[in-house]
Structure 1
Amino acid sequence: MDQKTNEEMLMFVEKATAGDKEALETVLLSAQDLVFNLSLRMLGTFADAEDAAQDILLKIMTHLSSFQKQSAFSTWVFRIAVNHLKNYKKHMFAQRPLSFEFYGTDIENGKSGEVPDLTQDVEKSLLAEELKLSCTNVMLQCLDAESRCVFVLGTMFKLDSRIAGEILDMTPEAYRQRLSRVRKKMADFLKIYCGEYGGGKCRCEDRVNYAIQSHRLNPKQLDYTEAGEIPLQTMLEVKKAMEETDDFAQNFAFCKPYEAPERTKRFVREFLDSPQLSVIRNAEGRG
């Protein structure tokens, strides 16, 4: 988490729970990239991920005194975030759920060749890259919430099965089996339909205008290609990577970590300077 060891984070947590505002800021800013990236993969869009990340960061702050140090701080953060996101109902795909069947039918039947040029003078290759990253992330919404968690923790964050199982309240063996099944399901779909990460006929560049017409791509708002990509190590101290359970890793290169948007960073700093912080701390003190 922001290249800090667990021991360093424990020190900051102790100071933060004792009332040190700068330590609290360090804790929250260190967690923000992890929280945002998990939210993005779980919810499918930048806007929904930003909103959920703010909610989760508030939960981390208000529950910080309950952290018992029986696990790594990042594991505790993951658990809070996962529990929040699995039950999060305010995102777009909670209202309009997806399935692999729907996605496949859209690829098969979408008449992309009949759509006029809608690129608005934006380079088509740039739009195709944005569509590729967006499409594969939205594809995760075809999984149920727990399967999505399993996939993201194992494929993007590369957590070992003991830690991931602890976060999801399942045994390491059950987690490994579930991860293998979910990764195979994703890989099979990519193999059939996706020409970017599999052997399918769908090519992002051919579907750019269709995606714009169907409001899946906005040439004036390229969230993925404009986001700052970061190494996994800046979010998480990875001492033991997830053991490989299958041969599908090359299929999931789209699981890239991004820097939390400026709005999320600004939210943390503005909240720490607001009267609400004192209200929450006073409430914690009375509790």
Structure 2
Amino acid sequence: MNVSTEELVREALKGNSDALESVVLKIQDRIYGLAIRMLWHPEDAEDASQEILVKIVTHLGSFRFESSFETWCFRIAVNHLLTTRKRRAELLNLTFPLLEQDIDKGLEYCSNHSTPEPEQDLLVKEVMIGCVQGVMLCLDRAHRIVYVLGEVYRVDSQTGSHVLEITPEAFRKRLSRSRGLVRNFLARHCGLVDTSNECTCKRQIPYAIKTGIVNPRRLLFAGYSCQSYTSAESDVSCDTDERVAALLRQPQYEAPNRFVEKVRALVRAEFQTVRPHH
């Protein structure tokens, strides 16, 4: 029998530790996906996700069942991600002009350097995901979070405005601006969005390795499931907005196994704090 998340929350609040663990397992991938798209580096995303899940577990008794549980969790996650200290990737202060310069340098460098053949598929995937994440880093936090919620997770303006505590109009305005910035950049540079563009993930590999953005011995992103990450390139029937959205929605992030084990331990440790507010 399929048990809704809200029913599991009710059981957790009655003292059912298995239900509490099931609640966390249901939401952890979405929280991790949100965190990694905001912070870029998987380790920073793991740390932030754990901090968010602690808040969710310890404040579970304050959930009033007035919205969906996921919306309530997003509100906690978003507030945390908007106010947390800048992490390593954000400290680079990446902008669209700086990313454009890096792309040009990569194309120039690749003309005299080749990619290691045995590792090429994994390296292409590593560059693709890292670059897409980098494009989102060019947005400030306020626009990045709206873009991730509205474009990646397809949250409507009513829900998004509730999560961010802004008006639906403000949410739609930020989403439109974010979409425009991302679309215009990728449409001008990315070969996956427009095959007439010179830049491809393969061509960027040598420069990415040279500058240390990609470490072939320690890949950050290539292990994630990316079932349709070339769909944006292959589906020529889509308009530019749809191709960009298809690219940005990949990969389907799943919390790493080591993180899952840490979260299970966290749930057991925090279980005694879960009590309904009367």
TM-score by length of 1: 0.83
Measured after TM superposition, the shift of residue 229 of structure 1 is 4.9
1:271 aligns with 2:266: yes
- Give identity over the alignment, percent: 36
Higher mean C-alpha deviation, range 27-36 or range 81-90? 81-90
Q: 2:36 is matched with which residue? A: 40
Is contact 1:134–1:224 with CA below 8 Å preserved after alignment?
Answer: yes
2:252 is the alignment partner of 1:260: no
C-alpha displacement of 1:113 = 2.9
Residue number in structure 2 paired with 1:26: 22
Runs of 4 or more, structure 1, over 4 Å off, are 114-118, 284-287
1:31-88 CA-to-partner distances (Å, cap 9, x unmatched) read: 1011010011111121211111111111110111111111110100100111111122
> Shift of residue 150 of structure 1?
0.8
Aligned to 2:235: none
Q: Residues 73-104 of structure 1: CA distance to partner in whole angstroms, max 9, x if unpaired?
A: 01001001111111222521232221111111
Number of residue equivalences: 263
TM superposition shift of 1:178: 1.8
Aligned residue number for residue 217 of structure 1 = 214
**Paired residues for 1:114-263 under 5 Å:** 116=113, 119=116, 122-198=118-194, 199-229=196-226, 248-254=241-247, 255-256=249-250, 257-263=252-258
Instruction: Tell me the C-alpha RMSD between the 2 structures.
Output: 2.6
Q: Which residue of 2 aligns with 1:113?
A: 110
Q: Which moved more, 1:220-229 or 1:157-166?
A: 220-229
Say if 1:63 and 1:52 are closer, same or farther in 2 by CA, change over 3 A. Answer: same
Give the aligned partner of residue 5 of structure 2: 9
Q: Hey, what's the Cα distance between the residues in 1 that align with 2:226 and 2:102?
A: 29
Go from structure 1 to structure 2 and tell me whether the alpha carbon gap of 1:230 and 1:53 turns closer, same or farther (over 3 Å shift): farther
Report Cα offsets for 1:171-210 as digits up to 9, x if no partner. 2222222211210110101122222223532221111011
Shift of residue 117, structure 1, vs aligned partner: 5.0
* Alignment gaps of 5+ in structure 1: 232-245
8 Å contact from structure 2 (residues 189, 198) kept in 1: yes
Provide the residue aligned with 2:233 in structure 1. none
Q: Which amino acid aligns with 1:267?
A: K
Of residues 52, 55, 58, the one that matches 2:54 is 58
Q: Distance in 1 between matches of 2:245 and 2:12?
A: 37
Unaligned runs of 5+ in 2: 229-238
Opposite residue 129 of structure 2, the aligned amino acid is L
Q: Distance in 1 between matches of 2:226 and 2:70?
A: 20
Contact 1:229 1:259 in 2 (8 A): no
Closer/same/farther in 2, CA of residues 21 and 115 from structure 1, 3 Å limit? farther
Q: Residue type of the partner of 1:258? A: Y
Please state how far the C-alpha of 1:266 moved relative to its aligned partner.
0.6
In 2, Cα distance between equivalents of 1:145 and 1:9: 29
- The one-letter code of the counterpart of 1:161 is S
Letter in 1 for 2:200: R
For 1:271, what is the secondary structure of its paired residue?
helix
- Structure 2 counterpart of 1:79: 75
Alpha-carbon distance in 2 for matches of 1:125, 1:165: 40
Residue 235 of structure 1 corresponds to none
Asked if 1:281 corresponds to 2:273, the answer is yes
Cα separation, 2, equivalents of 1:187 and 1:220: 32
Report the TM-score, using the length of structure 2 for normalisation: 0.85
The Cα shift of 1:272 comes to: 3.2
Question: 1:118 offset after TM fit, Å?
Answer: 6.7
Match of 1:236 in 2: none
From the superposition, tell whether residues 285 and 259 of structure 1 become closer, same or farther in structure 2 (CA, over 3 Å): closer
Letter in 2 for 1:138: G
